Amino acid sequence: MLMQDYTMLRNEMVKTQIGNRGVKDSATLAALRKVPRHSFVPTDQVANAYEDRPLAIGYGQTISQPYIVGYMTEIIKPKAGQKVLEIGTGSGYQAAVLAEIVSKVYTIEIVEELGKQATTRLKNLGYKNIETKTADGYHGWKEHAPFDAIVVTAAAEFIPPPLKEQLKDGGRMIIPVGSPYMTQQLMLIEKTGKSYRTTSKMPVRFVPFKRSQ
């Protein structure tokens, strides 16, 4: 497929699947129009890259539905100058979208092979403001905390306390919470001082939040 065809498909994806469904933040929409989603999926899934559904990327993991990526990006209110933590690098797509907007993205993947693939992919695509690590995301990335925002792309049965602690005052975290392999609730956590406000936003289905043994 020609490069301009990918651009056309990507613009159509952003307009119909994301913008028309309520995502309005201009920086988020611009990032989604720029990041080549087809570069983040396995070769046998490239033809499906701009469809509005999650796609398997191996190791029991998925690249999230474009609308959900757009929604989760917009809701943390990303801005230039910010520092964001992502838990669950996966293919690296969400990290790339964030990196188009904020100054620095720290992203953690527990599946070593996926982490290696994402690191190589992001480097080859020219992203210099993304730092990757293979680790248990439950513990966050303390040495780079606090973060303006945290995006969690796997379903946890509860909100990990270390992640809440690593939010800045005024920070926001978006995380799916609920039982694995069932419908979860996408939760927004907003930190003010030492208090947290938690709001349920929508039902979702994410792969489970993996922990190291």
Identity of residue 116: K
Q: What is the 3-state secondary structure (H, E, C) of 127-183?
A: CCCEEEEECCHHHCCHHHCCEEEEEECCEECCCCHHHHHCEEEEEEEEEEECCCCCC
Q: What is the pLDDT of residues 117-146, one digit of tens each?
A: 999 999 999 999 999 999 999 999 999 999
CA distance 129 to 95: 10
Residue bearing the bigger pLDDT, 210 or 47: 47
pLDDT at position 213 over 70:
no
pLDDT of residue 29: 98
Taking the model in full, what pTM does it have? 0.94
Residue whose pair of structure tokens reads 């905390």 in the numeric block: 145
pLDDT of residue 120: 97
Q: What is the pLDDT of residues 14-69, one digit of tens each?
A: 999 999 999 999 999 999 999 999 999 999 999 999 999 999 999 889 999 999 99
pLDDT at position 1 over 70:
no
Domains of the chain: 3-204 (3.40.50.150)
91 carries an active-site annotation: no
pLDDT of residue 191: 97
Residue 164, Ramachandran bin (φ over 0: left; ψ between -120 and 50: alpha; else beta): alpha
CB 16 within 8 A of CB 23: no
Q: What is the mean pLDDT of the segment spanning 162-184?
A: 93
Kindly indicate the confidence band of residue 4, based on its pLDDT and cuts at 50, 70 and 90. Answer: low
pLDDT of residue 182: 79
Cis peptide bond N-terminal to 146, omega within 30: yes
Q: What is the mean pLDDT of the segment spanning 67-95?
A: 97
CA distance 101 to 124: 19
pLDDT at position 211 over 90:
no
Catalytic residue among 64, 91, 179, 200: 64
Q: What is the pLDDT of residues 93-118, one digit of tens each?
A: 999 999 999 999 999 999 999 999 99
pLDDT of residue 104: 98
Kindly indicate the confidence band of residue 209, based on its pLDDT and cuts at 50, 70 and 90. Answer: confident
